Structure formats: C-alpha cells, structure tokens
Amino acid sequence: MSEKSHVSVERHLCLACGAAYDTGTILLDRRLRARLERYTTTGWGLCLEHQRLFDDGFVALVECDPGKSGHPSSADRLKPDQAYRTGRVLHLKRMNQVDTRQSNLTPKPSMRALAGRRNDHAPPKRTVEFTRRSPR
C-alpha cells in the first residue's frame, strides 16, 4: 500500500536511457489533499550523464524495438513513452558547420554530353533513359 501525501518529489524520464531522475522540484497539492505519490513523473529530459554528453556536442541515437513498441499516433511517430528501448545507445559527435567550399561535390557533365563526345550514334553504357507515357 502506497502512502499518499500533499507533497511529492518531481521526476523526469531520460529520453536516451529511459531512467527516472529527480529534478530537485517539490510538488505541492493546491488544496493540501493527500493525492500525490512520493515521486511524480511529470515529463521528459536528459539525465545527468546524457546531459553532460549533449553539452559536450554529442547526439544520442537510441535503438528501439518496433515490434515491442506501442502504436504510432496519427502522424506515424512514436511518442517517447511508447518506444521500447533495447538499452543500446550510440553517441555521435555533432558537426556544427560543414564548409561547402572545401567539399568535392563538383558538378559532372551530363551523360548526353559525354555520349556526344564518344559516339553520336550509340548511347554510353550503363545509362537508363526515361520516357514519358501518354495519359490513358
């Protein structure tokens, strides 16, 4: 049997690992009725370990099992409380800026231009041509 009180300790659940952690906030029932449990979970956040990693520039990728997870909402997205976490978390360093001036993404000449240079009559190998169908 759980004891109810008019005060409670607020807790959040970690988005990365799913562990409950104290936020340091005390909740008080306005009418001073004994309706609150000892701990009350009110939202989501990051635990101390994952918050430290996030502040250091890491992003957490959390593995979830879609077979054991809840049903997605109307937007086909799972809410954090519906996801079944397997316990495997990968932290990747966030890239703040990508310098596009130093990238090797240079535009290549089209395949038609290359085909015209080699042989005007034969299309180059390994190319696919798309044709538009007439509406029925």
Instruction: Tell me the two tokens of residue 78.
Output: 């799972």
Domain positions in the chain are 7-93
Summary mean pLDDT of the chain: 77
Burial class of 14 by CB neighbour count within 10 A (0 to 12, 13 to 18, 19+): buried
pLDDT at 37: 93
pTM: 0.61
Mean pLDDT of 15-38: 92
Tell me the pLDDT tens digit for each residue of 54-90: 999 999 989 888 888 887 666 777 788 888 889 899 9
Is the pLDDT at 48 greater than 60? The verdict is yes
Quickly tell me which residue has 């990508």 as its tokens: 98
